[in-house]
Chains A and B, each alone.
Chain A
Amino acid sequence: MSNNNITKDTPGLRGLSDKSLAWLFITPTIILLLAINIFPLIWTIYLSFTDYRSNQPGREIEWVGLENYRDVLTSPDVWGYMQTTASFVISTMLIQVAIGFALAMFINKNFKGNSLLTTIILIPMMLSPAVVGTFWTYLYQPQTGVFSYIIDFFADVGPLDMIGSVDLAPWAIVIVDTWMWTPYIMLLCLAGLRSIPEYLYEAAEIDRANALQKFWYITLPRILPFLMLAVLFRGIENFKMFDMVVSLTSGGPGSITELASINLKREAFENWKTGYSSAFATILFVTVFGLGSIYVKALNKVKS
Chain B
Amino acid sequence: MIRSAKMLKVGESSGLSKWIAGIIVTFYALVTVMPLLWIVATSFKSPPDSISYPPQIVFEPTLEGYVNLFTERSRQTDEYIEKLGPPETWYEEIVRERNMVVTGPSRFAGRYWNSIFIGFGSTFLAVVLGTMAAYGFSRFKVPLKDDLLFFILSTRMMPPIAVAIPIYLMYRELGLSDTALGMIILYTAVNVSLAVWLLKGFVDEIPREYEDAALIDGYSRFQAFIKVVLPQMKAGIAATAIFCLIFAWNEYAFALLLTSGNAQTAPPFIPAIIGEGGLDWPAVSAGTTLFLLPIVIVTVVLRNQLLRGITFGAVRK
- Determine the distance from Cα of A129 to Cα of B256 in the docked complex, in whole angstroms: 13
A111-163 at interface with B (beta carbon < 8 Å)? 111-115, 117-124, 126-131, 133-136, 138-139, 141, 143-146, 149
Q: Does A208 contact B (CB under 8 A)?
A: no
Residues of A in contact (CB 8 Å), total 112
**Closest approach, in angstroms, between the C-beta of B139 and any C-beta of chain A?**
8
Please pick, from B19, B32, B50, B162, the residue contacting A123 in the complex, using a CB distance under 8 A.
B32
B123-161 at interface with A (beta carbon < 8 Å)? 129-130, 132-133, 135-137, 139-142, 148, 151-152, 154-155, 157-161
**Interchain CB contact under 8 A, A134 and B25:** no
Q: Mark B287-317, 1 if CB is under 8 A from A, else 0.
A: 0100110011011100100110011001101
Residues of B within 8 A of A118 (CB): 1, 303
Residues of B within 8 A of A145 (CB): 55
Residues of B in contact (CB 8 Å), total 114
**Interchain CB contact under 8 A, B140 and A188:** no
Q: Given A111-B18, A118-B1, A144-B55, are A22 and B161 neighbors across the interface (CB < 8 Å)?
A: no
Q: Does B284 contact A (CB under 8 A)?
A: yes
Stretch from B6-14, B63-71, B106-114 contacting the other chain: B6-14
Q: Does B270 contact A (CB under 8 A)?
A: yes
Q: Does A69 contact B (CB under 8 A)?
A: no
Q: Does A269 contact B (CB under 8 A)?
A: yes
The chain B residue with its CB closest to the CB of A143 is B53
Q: Does A101 contact B (CB under 8 A)?
A: no
Q: Mark B42-72, 1 if CB is under 8 A from A, else 0.
A: 1000000011111100000000000000000
**Interchain CB contact under 8 A, B166 and A129:** no
Q: Does B5 contact A (CB under 8 A)?
A: yes
**Interchain CB contact under 8 A, A14 and B165:** no
Q: Does B244 contact A (CB under 8 A)?
A: no
- Determine the distance from Cα of A226 to Cα of B170 in the docked complex, in whole angstroms: 39
Q: Does B74 contact A (CB under 8 A)?
A: no
The chain A residue with its CB closest to the CB of B299 is A126
**Interchain CB contact under 8 A, B164 and A126:** no
**Interchain CB contact under 8 A, B162 and A284:** yes
Q: Given A106-B21, A121-B28, A285-B162, are A32 and B310 neighbors across the interface (CB < 8 Å)?
A: no
**Interchain CB contact under 8 A, A198 and B9:** yes
**Closest approach, in angstroms, between the C-beta of B151 and any C-beta of chain A?**
8
- Determine the distance from Cα of A187 to Cα of B314 in the docked complex, in whole angstroms: 10
Residues of A within 8 A of B9 (CB): 198
The chain B residue with its CB closest to the CB of A43 is B166
A241-256 at interface with B (beta carbon < 8 Å)? 242-243, 247
Residues of B within 8 A of A134 (CB): 270-271, 284, 288
Residues of A within 8 A of B196 (CB): 29
**Interchain CB contact under 8 A, A123 and B33:** yes
Q: Given A3-B227, A6-B227, A111-B18, are A281 and B159 neighbors across the interface (CB < 8 Å)?
A: yes
Q: Does B202 contact A (CB under 8 A)?
A: no
- Determine the distance from Cα of A118 to Cα of B227 in the docked complex, in whole angstroms: 36
Q: Does B185 contact A (CB under 8 A)?
A: yes
Among A146, A226, A268, max chain B CB count under 10 A is at A146
Since A43-B166, A144-B52 are in contact, a sample of 13 more A-B pairs with Cβ atoms closer than 8 Å, ordered by chain A residue number, is A22-B142, A25-B135, A32-B129, A38-B155, A109-B21, A110-B5, A122-B299, A128-B267, A143-B53, A193-B11, A242-B252, A265-B161, A281-B159
Please list the residues of chain B having a beta carbon within 8 angstroms of any beta carbon in chain A.
1-3, 5, 7-13, 17-19, 21-22, 24-26, 28-29, 32-33, 35-36, 38-39, 42, 50-55, 129-130, 132-133, 135-137, 139-142, 148, 151-152, 154-155, 157-170, 172, 185-186, 188-190, 192-193, 196, 218-223, 225-227, 246, 249-253, 257, 266-268, 270-271, 279, 281, 284-285, 288, 291-292, 295-296, 298-300, 303, 306-307, 310-311, 314-315, 317
